[in-house]
Structure formats: structure tokens, C-alpha cells
A and B are shown apart, each in its own frame.
Chain A
Amino acid sequence: MSTPVIEAPGRTPAPRKKVGGGLLDPAQLVRSLPAALVKLNPVHMWRNPVMLIVEIGAVFSTALAVADPSFFAWAIVVWLWLTVIFANLAEAVAEGRGKAQAATLRAAKRDTTARRLTDRRDPDRWDDVGASELRQGDFVVVEAGEIIPGDGDVVEGIASVDESAITGESAPVIRESGGDRSAVTGGTKVLSDRIIVQITQKPGESFIDRMIALVEGANRQKTPNEIALNILLAALTIIFLVATVTMQPLAIYSKADNPGIPDSLALTGDGVTGIVLVSLLVCLIPTTIGALLSAIGIAGMDRLVQRNVLAMSGRAVEAAGDVSTLLLDKTGTITLGNRQASEFVPAPGVSADELATAAQLASLADETPEGRSIVVYAKQAYGLREREAGELAHAEWVQFTAQTRMSGVNVDSRQVRKGAATAVMKWVRENGGHPTDEVGAIVDAISGSGGTPLVVGQVVDGKARVLGVIHLKDVVKQGMRERFDEMRRMGIRTVMITGDNPLTARAIADEAGVDDFLAEATPEDKLALIKREQEGGRLVAMTGDGTNDAPALAQADVGVAMNTGTSAAKEAGNMVDLDSNPTKLIEIVEIGKQLLITRGALTTFSIANDIAKYFAIIPAMFAAVYPGLDALNIMRLTSPQSAILAAVIFNAIVIVALIPLALRGVRYRPSSASKLLSRNLYLYGLGGIVVPFVGIKIIDLLIQFLPGMS
């Protein structure tokens, strides 16, 4: 079972370091330029076949322009090179955003000296070694003010640790031996006390090392969908390559068939000129998505990093988008974590205010969250002023014990008790009172609804009676029902995992609006549930932090380990949430989906763009021999040269224009697949058809004044 996240009451979660992060700073483009130029190396371009074709075309056109220079030829050459550079720029900018984060992490990783115990049983004898020399299984001692030299588990002691180097969260966390809060991360700082840590990492494979590699995208592997998309793009590129090359004999024939027509810049007796042919090819092949594809992938990972989630692979992020079952721990994720008073039910003949006053009185000295919640509820619902325990002069506080199972107060001749139903009723009877059957009925009703009943009784002047019942219940976090409704619309089934009995579990499940629940769950049950879902073809996501969560985390398709958890859990999952916020699973799913949608939308946009480019370039090439084809020049572009150049410029500029979208991701609102598709088709399909017509026309209007354009 997982343990609840320890949060100080009333503490709000740390604000995100960077929100959104979609805004693109123009300075960032300039800063990334050198990196973009380095990427022109064909060895690098090899990874991106679409842009490699553009680069080859650019080289070829440059040679042609050198051999037969003209303003038109050089203008095309410049824009072809810009197309390649813009594509590299997109990737460089995406990578650049991770670099800053990597630098911070590197600072935390500076080589520290470790005090390695020579003998595990003797905590006072050590030799000083460099942190990089530590091996798995070594024991080190770390004291207040020192940096923990490597990832490991606390085997002795307890300490507060500042983990801001990796989480960005300045509040210190407690790390102690045993239990689920034993994991420490190399590079974090011990603030108090002294702990002995057993190193669990291999040299050079620390959590921080992996984080640095991840945020830099150093050894980024293509994800399955990315590979599939690349294949489709390669196929389209081949088709357009064939369509362009095979056009040449037809063009030569057509030109020869119309002997009176003079040669033009686009068409001569040798067919379409090389530069125009390359321009057509570059405009047709899916350069937009080809240029942005890797930036989209890097940015997707980066969006997770900005939310303090580290995905160990892009594959995991993609799987998050496909998740169809979400396992959520009840405590901390769905409910606030503590039971709270939600209702006072008075016994017959007792007024509600009387019960509220007694309940408040009995709870004033009760520092448990439940006790606090009774005082708070009495104030909120009945307007009872919050009294301090010290205000009552003669009060004698009765503490809760496992034997009495009740707590309360004796003031003068009045005794008030609240506690477990049987205990308080017994106490009332012992003092001569006779609890009515109605009280029993109230208690049963509350238990039946999944709540916890606390009976309040009092003895005044020797007269004992039951005043009523306090209804304690698990409070579902605000907005959870809406979240789960959203999930359902996205086709995701939510399953609540809890150690509660089925009755309580059902009540909370109903209130929170989850689709299903697993009550009295053991780690084995959880694992079995995951396997069952997976057999039905569903992908499962879960969060976990304890060592006994590890098998389930490993089995789940998306296993998010809490950073507060054990090393075993972090090792087993494929993501780590540095904020240790289990609700984040929902955000992770959305980011996964957004990543895929962005790829699909830009692919559609890219292909849809081709229509307008044909309408620009085909008449430009052939209207001279077949004047009728000028009817295809529906944009009424100034001249063949300006039409071709405008198409090439548009093709290049659209890459830069879409970099922010590629980095930010397409806007995603949870809704059904059908609605999402309609919206994206409308925007990127229809938009992809219309935008280039407008764009090319505008560019044509601007460049018509350049030399050689008329």
C-alpha cells in the first residue's frame, strides 16, 4: 500500500517553476542559431530524411545558381537553405530549453567528497573518497550541512533534507530509515541530523545523471508513433520525388510540341529548370511536419519536466496518451487524506445547537485532524466561536486512549464525551442513562453510508444521555468529480484503490464519481487488477511510492513513482514525479495526448498545404506552353518567378511560424475523440488548405517589386 503524502496542514503546493512555457522568446531563436547551423552536417540530417532531401536540393540548387546566376536563382537558393536552417532551429530551440535546466542540475552534481564507512557496524570509522568512486552497496555517513554523495536508501537515522536542487521545492523533507520514505537522491543536502545511506546507484548512473540526459534530450530515442509517422512521411516524400522527376520527360515533350514558345526561367527545351524542379519538390514533400517532428517530441518531454515529472522514455509519454485505465490511490489523490466532520445528527429531544456545542467542547483539546475538523465544522455550520482549550478555567481534559476509545472534558459538574459508538453508549449506561434505539439507527445509517459515526454523550448533574452523532467522512477533493467526468469523456476508466472496507469504498467511489474501486486492496490485488486490465487490451497508469508498489509500478504501462518514495519504486516506474503529487497522473495523460495530437495536426496541415502550392507552381511552370493552365493560377500571382519564389518562401516561413505551436503543443481540452477530431480537422485540415493560399498571395504582393519578378 502506498502511504499518504505528508504535507503540513494548510501548506499549498509549491507553484510551478515555469507555467505553460509556450511563449517563444525571439532571442531564443537567435541564441539557438549556432546550434542550428552545426546541425546542417549531413550526418545529423540523416536522421530526418525529409529535411535531408531539402538539404540535397539546396546543395544542388546552389551549384546550379553558381553555374547560371540570376536573382531568381539565388533568391530560391537562399530560401531553400533557410528552410533547412529553420528546421534545425526548431530542434535547437526545443533542445535549448532543456539546457538551462541541465545546467542547474549539473551544478548540483559537482563532485563531493563522501565519507565511506569502512565497516557497516561501526558508524564512526570512514575514509574520505570522491563521490564518483562510490559503488553500489557502499555505506556512507552524511551529516547536517553535507551533500548526499549518491542515490541510496537511508539505513540508519532520520534527517531533514533539502531536495530543492532537483524538485525546485524549498521546503525540506524528512528522510528516515525503514518505511517508504527512505530514498535519498545524490546532490541533495542534509539540513539536520545524521544518517547512514546505502548507495544503490551505479557510478555515473545517478538520478541526476539521468535527469540531465533526459532534459537535454541527449540520447532521445524515437517513439513508436514517431517511427510510424516517419515511415508515412518517407513514403510521401518518395511519391513526390517520383512525381517531380517523372514530370521531366513530359515537360520536355510538351515544350518540344509547342516550338514557337520561347524558353522561360521555369521551362526550357531541356525541361523544367533544375531550380524550379527542386522548388516544386521541396514545396510538395511534407517539410512542415518533417521540420518540426523532433522538436515536438523534445518539447513534449520538456512539458513534463516543467511539471516536475521525469519520464524515463518517450515511449512512456506516448503510452500515457493511450492509457484507458487509471488506478488512483484514494488517500491523497481522491480524498484530502483525513476524515472530517460533515454533519451533526442530534438524538431525539436534543437541539442541533446543543449537540454542536457539546461536540465542540469535547473536541477542543483534540489535536487529531478529526478533532480539529469537528471544531471547524461547528464554527462553519453553527457559527460557534472557536474557543481555546485554555479558556475554560476548570476544565479537565480526558485524552483518547485505546482502552476507553473516547475523549472529552469534565467542566464542573458537566462531563462530555465523544468517541466510538459502543464506548460512549456504554459510558452513558454506566452513568444511569438509557440511549434510545433511534441513536443506534443513526449510527448504523452513518456506517452504512461509508462514514464513521462518533457518538456524543454527556452527564450533567448525574443525568446521563446521548446527545447525538457526529458524522465523520472522507472528504473528496474539490473538482474531482469533474476531472473524472472529463476522463470518462476521454474514454478513460478510473479505478480507486483503497484499504477501506467495500462499504466505505463504495460510498467514496460514488461521491467522487470514479468508475470502479478496489477495496481492502493489497499490493497483490493491485498487480492482479493491472494484469486483468492489460489482458483486455487496456493500457494502465498508476502512481505509487512504496517498495511493495514496485511490482505493480513495473507492470503498469505508465508507472509514476513519487519522488518521496523508495528507490525500489522509483526504479520500477517509468516516470518520477518530483512533486510527489498523485493527481498529476491526469496531467501526464493529457500531455501524452497533446503530443500525439500535435504531430497529427501538423501532419494534416503539412499535407493540406500542398494543394495551394500546386496552384502556384503548376501554372508558373506550364502556362507558357499551355495558356489554358493559367486558369489554375487562381491566386493571380504576379509572374511565374514570383509565384515559385512565394511558394518556397511560404514553405520556409511556415516552419518558423509553427515553432511556438510545436513547442507548446496543440491546445487540448478533454472531450470525446469525435469532437476532438472535428475541431482539429477544421483547424489544421481546412486551415491547412486555406492559409497557404492567403500566405502565398501576400508574399507574392510583397516580392513582386524585387528585380526579375515581373
Chain B
Amino acid sequence: MSPTLAGILFIGSLVLALALTHRPLGDYMYRVYTGTKHNAVERVIYRAIGVRPDAEQKWSVYARGVLAFSLVSVLFLYGLQRLQDKLFLSLGMAPVTDHVAWNTAISFVTNTNWQAYSGESTMGHLAQMAGLAVQNFVSASVGMAVAVALVRGFARNRTENLGNFWVDLVRGTLRVLLPIAFVGAIVLVAGGLVQNFAEPHTVTTLTGGQQAITGGPVASQEVIKELGTNGGGFYNANAAHPFENATRWTDWFEIFLILLIPFSMPRTFGRMVGQVRQGYAIVAVMATLALAGVALTNVFELSGGATVPQAVGAAMEGKEVRFGVSNSATFAAATTLTSTGAVNSFHDSYTPLGGMMTMFNMMLGEVAPGGVGAGLYGMLVLAVITVFVAGLMVGRTPEYLGKKIGAREIKLASMYFLVTPVLVLIGTALAMGSAEQRASMLNGGPHGLSEVLYAFTSASNNNGSAFGGLTVNTPWYDTALGLCMASGRFLPIIFVLALAGSLARQAPVPESAGTLPTHRPQFVGMVVGVTIVLVALTFLPALALGPLAEGIH
């Protein structure tokens, strides 16, 4: 079988698996988020944290819940890292330095999982499990909760109520993420991943040197890292490490986990607004962008358009031999399209245009299909903007799902899409404008620029993958990227929730022949077009001086 055909089969089987699972999972999540019953465990939790689970919240209260929970999480995670030497299961690791601890705390709470540290040599088991892995669950659940709140804004009428953040958070964690993670972890262990509490093994290598091989609760963290589109690896090498990603099969399964929830959320959305076809339209937009992203990354990598790959016959630098070019490219596209940021190969070593695709995927705003929850709400904001322009063109005040898109809605949607480009561009400009920060670049020329651009794109979009090459564990980068992660996560969430509140207050406009249909291919094409054009127009100058300058000859 030729590598290209194998790559196509790999992608095709993923598409098939997702097509089969998105519906039952989407329906299940619909029931989870609309159900009225609380199980015993949940009731205990609600009593413990003092929440009345049946009390509805208006948008500002919901947003306060998100922010308060996240703030507590950051402080807890920061403390855990700084004090890890005083606690158990630290494996003798020293306290994490202050700027790395802050950066890591923000990173995991914002579902970014940017890692300014090397996992196996910085974090003990307690910090990994009680800190990072817990955040892998709850930060994902926060994203889903916000998405569900926005969907309720569309689905509900004449109300201030958007649901209860604490209930959504608990249900998302206990009913959606935990069960899938449990099954997934067993599959991964069966696939060859490690799961133990053993002390590092010290082995003698072939050359006679000593090497410490760290084991740990890897599979359990790996599964939620992918499932929750987190991306923070147990090991520094992330999913390129054989203990995190043993074979092509685990590779396939991990990509499947990455895409599973983001591609199922539109189904949940369709069910909640009572029009399944609207969900299909959204999933179609996501799938179109995702397939294009995967295909182009593969094309650029397989054609190996750079000097060294041409010389050696394939763009294998930075890629694992057990995965090969195509599967690495597919993983890279999936992880950048979903704000996961796990890597099984090193994007820094990609061909210039392949590397550009990983950036472009993130620059789409992490909407295709994006992070768990975050992808859906980002895509819905883009749909709102598309509806606004398209709606004017059919001669009516634009409306989406029966809700008018007026000045307030467009203001919130605009502020949403302003946040990340502004963070990316200003961050990159500040870093490139300072000789001191430029010194962190491994390479000169356009490739060095790409390294910096990638870092800020990844942090601001809450992706968390690193291009590599750039030395980022300096106080400046830790602080700047931490600010990008926090602003890139919470400002959009506030705008989305405010938008949800504004939509829920409205009375619905009945659909008629004069209403812009938002479930047809025509609309899908428009959202795809608006997304690409907005991104291209915003980032073309920066991309021109980075990967394009390097890649076009």
C-alpha cells in the first residue's frame, strides 16, 4: 500500500468512525444537559459546594461562576506546583519556579495546556494527577458548559435564565467526560500505554550510558488530554513518546478522541434548538474546514517542499518513523484544528507550508471543530456574523434561529472575534520588536518569525501546541503567553455568555419564506467563506513574512 493510500484510509476511517458516533453521543449530551434529574453523587457535590441545582442563572451570574471557578482553579494549581516538594508523590521534584507555575496554572485552567516545562522532569505524580489531570477534565467541562449556555440562548425565549453553571460543569465532567475517559484509558492501556505509580527505572543504554525511564499514570492522563482537547502531555515529547502513543492504532484512537466531542456538539446544538438540520449545517462547516485543513497539511508534508526533504526523499525530520509522514500530518492538523495542542511530531520541522497550515488551522479561531465546547460557541459566533451580512442581503433585519441579530448581538460577536487576532498580532509584534525576546528564537529568518507567531497563535487560541525551537520558559514569554491564554479564553467566554443572555431575552421571529435559510449548503458555504476570508485578511501580512516567505520560491 502506498503511503498516500494508507494516509487516505487512515483519514477515511476516522471520518467514518466520527460519522457513526457523533449522533448517539450528541443525543446523549443533549439528554445530559437538558435532563432535570440529579443523581446521588451529584446531589452530594451540590450540597458540598452549596449550590441549589435547580436555580437558574442569568448570563452575568453564569459568567461569574465560570470566572470564580477558574480563578480558584488557577490559585489551587499554582499552589500545588509551588508546594509539591512539601506534599506526597512528588518523586522528589523541586517546587516549580514562579513564572512557570503561573504559566502552567493558567495554561491548564484555560484548556490550553501550553507547557513551558518538561513534564517528566518538573511535575510529580500528585501535581500531574490532582492538578493537571483534574483541570483536563474540568476546563473541558467549562467549555462545554459555556457552549450549552449559548445554545440555550438560541433555544429559549423571553427569559433571563441560561441554566446553572455548576450543574452543567458537574454533569459535563461526571456524565460525559469521565465515562468516555474511563473506557478510553482501558483501550489505550490495551494498546500499549503505561499506567503505574512506579519510580523511574534506570536502564543502561546500548552506548553504556544511564537513562532514567519514568512511568506513571500515563494512559489515564493521555485519554482526557485528547478527549478534552487539552493537549498537555505527561512527557515533554507529548504524543510522540511511545508511552503516550505506542502504535499507529493508538495514534488513530487518540485522533478519534480529539475529534469525538467537538464533532458531536453540533448534534447536541441541533437537538436543543429543536432543528436537527441546523446542527448538521454547523457540523458541515466544521467538517469542510477540517477536511481542507487535514488534506492541505498532508499535501504539503507528503510533497516535501523544502530542501532537506527533497534531498532525503520525505519530510521525516521531527516525525516518528512508526507514524510516518501522513499520519503525523493528520495528527498535526487534528490537534491544531481542535485547540488540543498534543503533538506526535514536531511542527517546527514541518515543511514551511505544512507548518503554515498548522498555524492557519489555529488562526481559524479553533472552530473546525475546535475545542470541546469552545469550538461550537466560536462557530456559532461566526454563524452570527455571517447571518448578519447575508441577512442584510435578503432584505430583512438579520436573524438566526429566530433571534434578531441587532446592534447588541453584533457588538458582542465583533468583540469576540477581535480578541484572538489582536492578542496574536500584538504579542508577536512585541516579541519581534525586542532583540531580547528575539534571542529566544532557535532559527533566524522567516522561520524564526514563524516560531514566535506560532507561540502567540497557539496561546491566544488556547491550543497549547508548540512549534518548538522557541525557548519559552523565560519570565517574559511565560507572562506574555499566560496573559494571552487567559485573555484568549475568558474575554470570549464573557462575550459569548452576554450574547447568550441577549438572545434568550428575545421573542422569536417566526420563520417564513423571507427568512434566510441557515441549514442549506448555500449557508454552509458562506460561513466557510467568511471564516477563511476573515482569517486570511487578518493574518496574511504576518504569514507572508513567516512561512510564506520561507515556503514560496
- A interface list, Cβ under 8 A from B: 224-225, 227-229, 231-232, 234-235, 238-240, 242-254, 257, 284, 318, 321-322, 324, 488-493, 536-538, 592-594, 596-597, 599-601, 603-604, 607-608, 610-611, 614, 618, 622, 625-626, 628-629, 631-632, 668, 672-674, 676-678, 680-681, 684-685
Contacts and interface: CB of A to CB of B under 8 A. Distances in A.
B397 A681 contact: no
**Most central of B393, B395, B542 by chain A CB within 10 Å:** B395
Interface of B: 385, 388-398, 402, 405-407, 409-411, 414-415, 417-418, 421-422, 425-426, 428-430, 432-433, 438, 444-446, 449, 507-510, 512-517, 520, 522, 526, 529, 533, 536-542, 544-546, 548-549, 551-553
A596 B397 contact: yes
B62 to A, nearest CB: 24
Given A324-B510, A324-B514, A596-B392, A249 B537 contact: no
Contacts of B542: 243, 246-247, 250
11 contacts: A232-B385, A232-B388, A245-B429, A246-B426, A252-B433, A322-B397, A593-B395, A610-B533, A629-B544, A681-B393, A681-B522
A631 B539 CA distance: 18
B513 A491 contact: yes
B510 A246 contact: no
In order of increasing CB-CB distance, the 6 nearest A-B pairs are A491-B514, A600-B392, A593-B395, A491-B512, A235-B414, A249-B433
B442 to A, nearest CB: 14
A245 B426 CA distance: 9
Contacts of A224: 397, 406-407
A229 B473 CA distance: 43
Contacts of B513: 488-491, 672-673
Contacts of A614: 536-537, 540
Contacts of A625: 549
Contacts of B445: 257
Contacts of A626: 446, 544-545, 548-549, 552
**Most central of B392, B397, B426, B549 by chain A CB within 10 Å:** B392
A597 B514 CA distance: 13
Contacts of A599: 392
B219 to A, nearest CB: 42
B509 A231 contact: no
Contacts, number: 215
Contacts of A252: 433
**Most central of A610, A672, A684 by chain B CB within 10 Å:** A672
Contact of A246 (B417, B429, B516): B429
Contact of A603 (B389, B409, B507, B546): B389
A249 B395 contact: no
Contacts of B414: 231-232, 234-235
Nearest to B415: A235
A659 B551 CA distance: 42
Contact of B393 (A235, A284, A318, A604): A604
B418 A235 contact: yes
Contacts of A608: 533
Contacts of B520: 674
Contacts of B433: 249, 252
Contact of A227 (B405, B407, B446, B509): B407
A322 B398 CA distance: 9
Given A247-B545, A251-B545, A593-B396, 10 more contacts: A231-B411, A243-B421, A243-B425, A245-B429, A537-B402, A593-B395, A610-B537, A626-B552, A673-B394, A680-B393
B545 A240 contact: no
B517 A253 contact: no
B98 to A, nearest CB: 28
B541 A596 contact: no
Contact of B533 (A238, A537, A607, A684): A607
A619 to B, nearest CB: 9
Contacts of A592: 395
A488 B512 CA distance: 9
A676 B395 contact: yes
Contacts of A251: 545
Contacts of B516: 673-674, 677
Contacts of A318: 397
A250 B429 contact: yes
A537 B537 contact: no
Nearest to A603: B389
A604 to B, nearest CB: 6
B540 A676 contact: no
Given A239-B421, A321-B397, A490 B392 contact: no
A252 B428 CA distance: 13
Contact of B389 (A234, A238, A600): A600
Given A224-B406, A249-B433, A492-B512, A596 B395 contact: yes
B405 A243 contact: no
Contacts of A322: 396-397
Nearest to B453: A250
B407 A231 contact: yes
Contacts of A250: 428-429, 432, 449, 541-542, 545-546
Given A246-B426, A321-B395, A674 B545 contact: no
A195 B159 CA distance: 56
B393 A492 contact: no
Given A232-B414, A253-B449, A488-B513, A628 B549 contact: yes
A685 B530 CA distance: 11
A676 B393 contact: yes
A611 B540 CA distance: 10
Nearest to A284: B537
A600 B390 contact: yes
**Most central of A238, A492, A597, A673 by chain B CB within 10 Å:** A673
B300 to A, nearest CB: 15
A540 to B, nearest CB: 12
A632 B544 contact: yes
B429 A248 contact: yes
A618 B478 CA distance: 32
A284 B510 CA distance: 37
Contacts of B551: 628
Contacts of B549: 254, 622, 625-626, 628-629
Contacts of B540: 614, 618
Contacts of B553: 628
A489 B395 CA distance: 13
A680 B390 CA distance: 9
Nearest to A631: B552
Nearest to A249: B433
Contacts of B430: 249
**Most central of A622, A626, A685 by chain B CB within 10 Å:** A626
A248 B515 CA distance: 44
Nearest to A685: B529
Contacts of A597: 392-395
A254 B549 CA distance: 10
**Most central of B396, B526, B533, B536 by chain A CB within 10 Å:** B396
A247 B542 CA distance: 6
A672 B541 contact: no
B396 A239 contact: no
B514 A253 contact: no
A249 B546 CA distance: 13
Nearest to B421: A239
A628 B553 CA distance: 4
A516 to B, nearest CB: 14
Contacts of A681: 390, 393, 522, 526
A353 B522 CA distance: 61
Contacts of A321: 395-397
Contacts of B517: 673-674
A178 B468 CA distance: 87
A677 to B, nearest CB: 5
B396 A243 contact: no
B392 A537 contact: no
Contacts of B545: 247, 250-251, 253-254, 622, 626
Contacts of A229: 388, 392, 410
